[in-house]
Amino acid sequence: MGEIKFGTDGWRAVISDTFTFDNVKKVAQAMADYLNNEGRDTPAKDKRIVIGYDTRFLSEKYAELMACVMAANGISIILSDRATPTPSVSYCIKDKGLRGGVMITASHNPARYNGIKFKAYYGGSAPLEVTKKFESCLGKSEIRFEPLGLLKEGGMITVEDIVTKHLGFIKKYVHLGVIKKAKLKVLVDTMYGTGNRYIAELLAGGNCKVDTIHSEANPGFGGINPEPIMPNLKELADKTKSGKYDIGIATDGDADRLGIALPNGKLMTGHKVMTLLLLHLYEDRKMRGDVVQTICGTVLIDKICKKYGLKTHETNVGFKYIAEKIIAGDVLVGGEETGGVAFKGYLPERDGILSGLLILEMMAARKKKILEILKVIDKEYGTYEYRRLDMKYPDAKKAKLMELLKTDPPKKVLDKDVVTVKATDGYKLICDDSSWLMLRLSGTEPILRIYSEAPSEKKALAMIAFGKKIADNIA
């Protein structure tokens, strides 16, 4: 069972290689064994499990297999009636008081991957100790399985719409009336994923013009990875500029992350996405609370929090760590550099649809174009450019690279002295001008991630090249 490992956000693997029908059943049985034993006692009032799935190849079938195994083990199941955003699963858990949920998705990973996420009773990612329990239960008992039709007839599996109530909450959380009054021209790219045409539907009947591209389901994602970054969003960026749209909005494969294309044809980083959302909730909505970001978060957020006296928390990479902080305290905003953000008064969960609408709400409330808002931020807090490189990296070099960074990290990055080295999740080298370089092995893919943040794009890219040279020089 060593081939099945839960990473930073669930188990992901290549379809028909490791992600097979048999292995999905094994994971379902392991989850059922845990839920029927150690995981029996939770604050949940309803002991059912909800199962959703994305638009990937065979996702619906994998969801049915999960449902049939878990139901055969005596766990009642709510099975989604369609491909659904991950936050719809999480909202269903919270709304109905369920003991948890399963989402069949590989999120933003390439089309050849699929995966399984488990959401706990609070509507957020399960903590590490729970996913480790799943792993320890693998292969410990015989797989129980009964046909879907029989389980539906017996009432152990019910098929339900879990999207409508999620969208209903968004209608209440977002000031849709404010957005609808603004004459915004918006282009939405749902990247062939579960975002569907929901943003356009929520804004129908107002003064906004909302066009949607790639809203049809496509298991191959049109030959791109459904991650809202370049080059995957080149078409969105180009059309936003050529079509004179006020903004372009993208949601990833399972609609829990957000990407933004600007009217000048450039993309806004995930750091800037979180920055705008924090400023909107604090300054425009007058909401208060702590702020959580991962170790590869931005100096910009730190400066804003210092100005307003907001308490900050830093976590390892992985939204489950952010979720733990949200559950434990009074958090206004918690987010990642990838555009996944959670908000006070919602769930300890990312939501790309909600995030996109809140960006539009900010523009409408301030009566300003997105570039004007960003210009004001740069003027007040300084310019911070973030870049990331993902590179395939040989297994034989991984341990050697991490050992080098542990025992003999660079004293300088380019022309700047390294003043702090953080080693909580990978290695982050912070320089005397607050610029930084970070090298980290991915928890969901066989790659090395190299991150940087600097006062200019040129400097950020140079730092990435410096980090790549370190990795390449490992013998």
The yes-or-no verdict on residue 9 having pLDDT over 80 is: no
Looking at the chain, the whole-number percentage of residues with pLDDT higher than 70 is: 99
Instruction: Examine the domain organization and report whether 312 and 425 are in the same domain.
Output: no
Residue 1's pLDDT is 56
Give the count of domains, the chain. Answer: 3
CATH of the domain at 67: 3.40.120.10
Residue range 361-371, pLDDT digits in tens: 999 999 999 99
Please tell me the predicted confidence (pLDDT) of residue 145: 98
pLDDT tens per residue across span 259-275 = 999 999 999 999 999 99
The residue-averaged pLDDT of 221-225 equals 94
Distance, CA of 31 to CA of 37 (rounded, Å) = 10
Q: Cβ–Cβ contacts within 10 Å for residue 242, how many?
A: 9
State the chain's mean pLDDT as an integer: 96
Q: What is the pLDDT of residues 57-80, one digit of tens each?
A: 999 999 999 999 999 999 999 999
- Cα separation, 66 vs 72, in Å, equals 10
Q: In b/e form, how buried is each residue of 273-305, taking b as 16+ CB within 10 angstroms? A: bbbbbbbbbbebbeeebbbbbbbbbbbbbbbbb
**Residue-wise pLDDT tens digits, 292-338:** 999 999 999 999 999 999 999 999 998 989 999 999 999 999 999 98
190 and 150 share one domain? no
In terms of domains, do 354 and 461 share one?
no
Distance CA 331, CA 312 (A): 9
pLDDT of residue 8: 72
In a domain, 2, yes or no: no
Look at residue 393 and tell me if it is in a domain: yes
Do 148 and 65 lie in one domain? The reply is yes
In this prediction, residue 203 carries a pLDDT of 98
The answer to whether residue 231 scores a pLDDT higher than 60 is: yes
Amino acid 46 reads D
Pick from 81-85, 192-196, 317-321, 379-383: least confident = 317-321
Per-residue pLDDT at 444: 67
Pairing type for strands 416-422 and 412-413 reads antiparallel
Q: Is residue 154 domain-shared with residue 213, that is, in the same domain?
A: no
- Do 158 and 229 reside in the same domain of the chain? no
Taking only the tens place, the pLDDT of each residue in 386-415 is 999 999 999 899 999 999 999 999 999 999
In whole angstroms, give the CA distance from residue 267 to residue 272: 10
Domain contains 74? yes
Calculate the CA dihedral of residues 295, 300, 302, 306 and round it to 10 degrees. 180
**18 and 140 together in one domain:** yes
Residues 254 and 328 in one domain: yes
pLDDT in the model for residue 40: 82
Mind listing the pLDDT tens digit for each residue in 419-452?
999 999 999 999 999 999 999 998 767 799 999 9
| Domain extent at residue 95 | 11-166
From residue 399, alpha-carbon distances to 318, 430, 470 in Å are: 21, 22, 14
Within a domain: 391? yes
**pLDDT tens-digit profile of 104-144?**
999 999 999 999 999 999 999 998 899 999 999 999 999 99
Strands 77-80 and 98-104: unpaired
Q: Are residues 137 and 27 in the same domain?
A: yes
90 has pLDDT over 70:
yes
pTM of the model: 0.94
Is 224:232 a contact under the CB 8 Å cutoff?
yes
pLDDT at 431: 98
Give the chain's radius of gyration (CA, Å).
22
